[in-house]
Structure 1
Amino acid sequence: MAFMPQSVQDVQKAMESMIEDIQKKILIPKQKEAFLCCAKCCDTVSGPRDLESCIMQCSKPSADSQKVIQQALGDFQERFQRAAMRCQDEVKDALGFEPSHSDQARAQSKFDSCMELAGKEFLQKVPKLKADLLAALQRR
């Protein structure tokens, strides 16, 4: 298993915590609202088409919220992956054609340092990401 710098692990933990918090504060209440709305559809509509339409309408806010979250998390992950690729490129540029073991060890150390810095940078972005997501979801 590859070494994962502490700051990268910290980003992962912060993201997991953020997602859990958003689920508790926003998603679960929206899902509950959608289920209750769907139950009312069974009592108030006159036919199968109306029922399907009513259920789709009830589920839309929850589905839209999921899309917002998936988009934001996907964008964040892509940016983090680009930072990792930048670290890889820096190491590749520093290595020669047939690197010695010591060159490879230095390159690995350089990569680890670069990833540690990237992790610290992205860890600082998590609170804004959470605030932006909460604001976007509360408007829905």
Structure 2
Amino acid sequence: MSGVQLKAVQDLQAQLTKVMEELDHKVFRPQQKAAFQCSIKCTDLRGPQEEMHACLAKCGEPIQRHEAAVMGELQEFQHRVQRCVQQCQDKQATTQDQGKFDKCVSECAVFYQKELASLKPQLMKKR
């Protein structure tokens, strides 16, 4: 890939990394903190051991659901990017024109940078 096209792909990767870091710091860590604080309260229960285990499981459910939903959405996003690149590879196989392939991949990257920007608010919601 040429430098311009490679930059678009690198920009998409950097944007995705930034979203993941922001999710970790602004969403997942606060949820983890809440789950740990909830878990501490479970250890104070005076009932049977099973009651404490049920309480602990319940404390971890919200973050597990949210992480699963976010990871599912990100996997689907990555699959869409991969399909776009695969279409570029399919087109390139018939033309053998590296320049067209590079341009196609760059267009995929630019398109999905915009898609990620619109997906980010949805990912950042606390569920």
What is the TM-score with the length of structure 1 in the denominator? 0.83
Letter aligned with residue 124 of structure 1: K
Work out whether 1:61 is the aligned partner of 2:59. no
- Distance in 2 (CA, whole Å) between partners of 1:36 and 1:62 is 13
Displacement of 1:109 in angstroms is 2.0
Displacement of 1:45 in angstroms is 4.4
Partner of 2:86: 85
- Distance in 2 (CA, whole Å) between partners of 1:83 and 1:67 is 24
107, 122, 125: which one pairs with 1:132? 122
RMSD, matched Cα:
1.5
Displacement of 1:120 in angstroms is 0.7
Work out whether 1:116 is the aligned partner of 2:116. no
**Gap change, CA 1:74 and 1:13, over 3 Å in 2:** same
Displacement of 1:15 in angstroms is 0.6
Instruction: For structure 1, list consecutive stretches of 5 or more residues without a partner in the other structure.
Output: 96-106
Query: Residue 44 of structure 2: SS of its match in structure 1?
Result: helix
**Residue deviations 1:57-76 (CA, integer Å, cap 9, x gap):** 00001101110110110010
Partner of 1:94: 95
Q: Count how many residue pairs are aligned between Structure 1 and Structure 2.
A: 125
What is the TM-score with the length of structure 2 in the denominator? 0.91
Of residues 39-48 and 49-58 in structure 1, the stretch that sits farther from structure 2 once superposed is 39-48
Partner of 2:49: 48
Letter aligned with residue 34 of structure 1: A
| The structure with more radius of gyration | 1
Percentage of identical aligned residues: 29
